[in-house]
Amino acid sequence: MRLRSCIALELLTGGTLFAGLVAGGIWGSQLAREGLAHEAQAATELPAPARVVEPVPLPPPVSPHTELEVIPETPTMFLGVEDDILLAPLRDSPIAQVKFNTGGSSISLRIDFENGARAAFKPRQTNWQSVPRREVIAFRINRLLGLGSVPPAIGRRFQMSKIVGALTPESRFYRPRLQAEMIQKGGWVTGELSWWIPVIRRGKVDGYEIDSMEGIVSWKRYLAIGAKIPERDLALVQQISDMVLFDFIISNPDRWSGGNARVSEDQRLLYFMDNTLSFGDRADGHPKSRTYFERCHTFSRSLVERLRTLEEEEIREVLERDIEPFDYYLRDSEITALLSRRDRALKYIDALIRRHGEELVLAFP
Ligand SMILES: Nc1ncnc2c1ncn2[C@@H]1O[C@H](COP(=O)(O)OP(=O)(O)O)[C@@H](O)[C@H]1O
Ligand SMILES: [Mg+2]
């Protein structure tokens, strides 16, 4: 993102400089005219100068701050709203009410805040596989790749007493489990808040739920070279292609275990939810994420192009911001592994392109 804005900055600075030079040329020739007139007048008083030096056209002064102000970094979005706007109410408001989210295997809570905002909270927990910090990384990498499918997420720390003290009557049953499994330090629990998607549904392709066996067979068939996808399923099938590629890049083994690939009410948007098992040092990706990725033979041209230009510096930059309350986001070895998976993904896609041609492989915009 920074690089993109840098390029924009360079283009604009270049444009300003160009305009400056043009304006400077005019300004310079005015100077020259005035200078010559002055010299002509001076010539009546003083001996003529040996030679007239053409004034060098000077660009008008350019303040670097002016450019920085006029080129805001393109904001990243979720459901048509800037991520920062959705995240702002989750940052400080006190907890009003906490509900235990049933259905998954880890501790996942729904928190209502006093200011009316709502979020899903994943705490650090004794289930060592579920690492809340990774949800925030998945969100940031998702946006870095130009996608808007992981709900916006931030880190936050709460007092254990405030969490368990705000449990709804039907969730109080989980109190002992929360106290036993949430990791606390001096009475504080660190975790991740994901903006709460008001309505989520089970997605269907060919009439089958996308994470059922029949559903997986259906979308795999539609993601084969040259497959004709019915209009009804097109939007979701394209996003499933993005999702399996994204999951390979972040090495997410947990997409198809149930509940982690949900859709909007109108079945047109796919949400990439629950990414807390992702990342790590595997350069070849988790076997599960690799298997699903290799079921896919058609991809989005823009996502593949973005992967080609992705630079380590960009990843580091988005992971260096807003780290609190975590100690860090990814270790160096995990960043190296992520870039290796990117390279492997592109190698796989390029082999498909060599075999079938770009038109058929990069079939989606
Ligand atoms: N951001 C969110 N918006 C709406 N519902 C959510 C959100 N995050 C989680 N949920 C709900 O909570 C359930 C469990 O959350 P999840 O993160 O998948 O935890 P688990 O690790 O237990 O599977 C999900 O299946 C979903 O119904
Ligand atoms: Mg889940």
What does the pLDDT look like over 169-188, one tens digit per residue?
A: 999 999 999 999 999 999 99
Residue whose Cα lies nearest atom 17 of ligand 1: it is 274
Q: Based on the domain organization, do 208 and 294 belong to the same domain? A: yes
Instruction: Give me the pLDDT at residue 258, please.
Output: 87
Residue whose Cα lies nearest atom 23 of ligand 1: it is 104
User: pLDDT higher for 31 or 53?
Assistant: 53
Q: Based on the domain organization, do 10 and 144 belong to the same domain? A: no
Q: Based on the domain organization, do 85 and 44 belong to the same domain? A: no
Residue whose Cα lies nearest atom 2 of ligand 1: it is 196
User: pLDDT band at residue 10, thresholds of 50, 70 and 90?
Assistant: very low
Could you tell me if 362 and 301 are in contact, meaning their C-beta atoms sit under 8 angstroms apart? yes
Ligand 2 centre from 273 Cα, in Å? 7
Instruction: Give me the pLDDT at residue 124, please.
Output: 97
**Listed residue (153, 241, 236, 238) closest to 201, CA to CA:** 236
Q: Based on the domain organization, do 187 and 279 belong to the same domain? A: no
Instruction: Give me the pLDDT at residue 60, please.
Output: 52
Ligand 1 centre from 292 Cα, in Å? 21
Count of C-beta atoms within a 10 Å radius of residue 161: 12
Q: Which of 54, 72, 90 is the last residue of a domain?
A: 72
Instruction: Give me the pLDDT at residue 69, please.
Output: 55
Q: Based on the domain organization, do 232 and 348 belong to the same domain? A: yes
Rounded to an integer, what is the distance from CA 92 to the centroid of its chain?
Answer: 23
Cα(63)–Cα(16) distance, integer angstroms = 11
Which helix H or strand E contains 97, and what residues bound it?
strand 95-100
Ligand 1 centre from 18 Cα, in Å? 52
Ligand nearest the Cα of residue 277 is 1
- Dmax (CA) for the chain in angstroms is 103
Q: Based on the domain organization, do 293 and 233 belong to the same domain? A: yes
Report DSSP state, residue 112: E
Mutation test residue for ligand 1: of 78, 79, 87, 101, the one with most atoms within 8 Å of CB: 101
Ligand 2 centre from 240 Cα, in Å? 17
Q: Which of 72, 91, 123 is the last residue of a domain?
A: 72
**Per-residue pLDDT at 68 exceeds 70:** no
Q: Based on the domain organization, do 319 and 242 belong to the same domain? A: yes
Instruction: Give me the pLDDT at residue 35, please.
Output: 38
User: For all residues of the chain together, what is the average pLDDT?
Assistant: 86
Atom number, ligand 1, closest to the C-alpha of residue 122: 17
Which residues 6+ apart lie within 8 Å of 20 measured at CB?
Answer: 59, 60, 62
Q: Which of 150, 169, 195 is the last residue of a domain?
A: 195
Q: Based on the domain organization, do 249 and 191 belong to the same domain? A: no
| Residues at CB less than 6 angstroms from ligand 1 | 101, 103-106, 108, 120, 130, 151, 194, 196-197, 200, 259-260, 273-274
Our count of domains for the chain comes to: 3
Q: Give 304-361 pLDDT, tens digit per residue.
A: 999 999 999 999 999 999 999 999 999 999 999 999 999 999 999 999 999 999 999 9
* Domain of residue 161, residue span: 79-195
Tell me the CATH number at 168.
Answer: 3.30.200
**Per-residue pLDDT at 46 exceeds 90:** no
Ligand nearest the Cα of residue 200 is 1
